[in-house]
Amino acid sequence: MLETASKSIVAWPGKPPVPAPARNPGVPFDLAWLDGLRVNLAAVSRRAATLGTRRAVKKDAQAAWLLKAITCIDLTTLSGDDTHARVERLCAKARRPLRDDLLDALGMPPASIKTGAVCVYHRYVKTAVHALEGSGIPVAAVSTGFPAGLNPHDLKLREIETSVKDGASEIDIVVTREHVLTGNWQALYDEMRDFRAACGDAHVKAILGTGDIRTLSNIAKASMICMMAGADFIKTSTGKESVNATLDVSLVMVRMIREYLARTGVMIGFKPAGGVSTAKTALEYQILMKEELGREWLEPDLFRIGASSLLADIERQLEHHVSGRYSAFNRHPVA
């Protein structure tokens, strides 16, 4: 039913494979990069409001885009009641996010789709690494005193190093929001450089905590400083703030990624996290990446969605596409 459309969005036939982006080496601290940086709130709001309306993705094309979205999900559990068994179940879901009968109906081979990563607390890194062995799915660990990011700096560095030692190949760090709120950009840069060094070969995602740093100008400046200091990804939120990922905030951040690319030639990834729980919202973020940054940013090397319940809604939409009926959420457990 969906063989052509689904494979076109997953493999993009007719186009050469996109090479994995190089690590971001960072650049020397230069406050001149922030000179004149202003954000037009009204213009941002108008642009963000059009993302779900200007481009229609329906039927087979929508199903294909949703298959692609699954491959960009950082399947996440960050709850106080997490257990080793829950993490193991999450990893099993990451390996096989869709039932084989759905994949077959969509023209896809069995087990051809998997999530972009599994994201857990440090305590469960070894469990996740063991459960995902042989799958090629990376383990991401939240670190640096997640979610508040207020631990002593030396403890943050030790936490990063320990997660990397345990097998995490991606580290989601939390910046100190006070540096942003007080405009102490040198301190933010220095902190991020230390985090980047502690990660070694592991990719580092800088969580800005956008709901806490309040203004779009702060978000733009913090995004640029973190990229200058070596962040491989910039990420909106911890998922624990009162306001998490929004299209307005995300638009500002991806525009900064575009600016950094123009200045350095380095491609930086983007991860919205918190509040992305429906297939419709995932499509809006995919459209944002495609229109603002280009086709390369629809790949998991440069785009991730931090989510837990999103996968269940995507499964429901795909089952509806195949059968014409919506199933209950409890038929698509995540963990």
Do the bridges between strand 269-271 and strand 233-235 make them parallel or antiparallel, or are there none, so unpaired? parallel
In order of 81, 82, 90, 171, the CA distances from 121 in angstroms are 11, 9, 13, 10
* Structure-derived torsion over alpha carbons of residues 307, 313, 319, 325, reported in degrees to the nearest 10: 180
Alpha carbons 267 and 294: distance in angstroms, whole number = 11
What secondary structure letter does DSSP report for 35? T
Backbone angles phi and psi of 76, in degrees to 5: -125, 140
Residues in the chain: 335
- Which pair of tokens denotes residue 310? 């999103």
Point out the residues that are catalytic: 172, 235, 271
Beta-carbon contacts of 281 under 8 Å, excluding residues fewer than 6 positions away, are 275, 310
**Sheet of 305-307, strands arranged across:** 269-271, 233-235, 203-207, 170-174, 139-142, 117-120, 73-76, 305-307
Is-contact 220 190, C-beta < 8 A?
Answer: no
Separation CA 208–CA 268 (nearest Å):
15
Tokens 């638009």 found at? 251
SS3 per residue for 154-200: HHHHHHHHHHHHCCCCEEEEECCHHHHHCCCHHHHHHHHHHHHHHHC
Phi/psi region, residue 234 (left: phi>0; alpha: psi -120 to 50; beta: rest), is: beta
Nearest by Cα to 157 from 169, 241, 149: 149
CA dihedral 165, 171, 174, 179 (to 10 degrees): 90
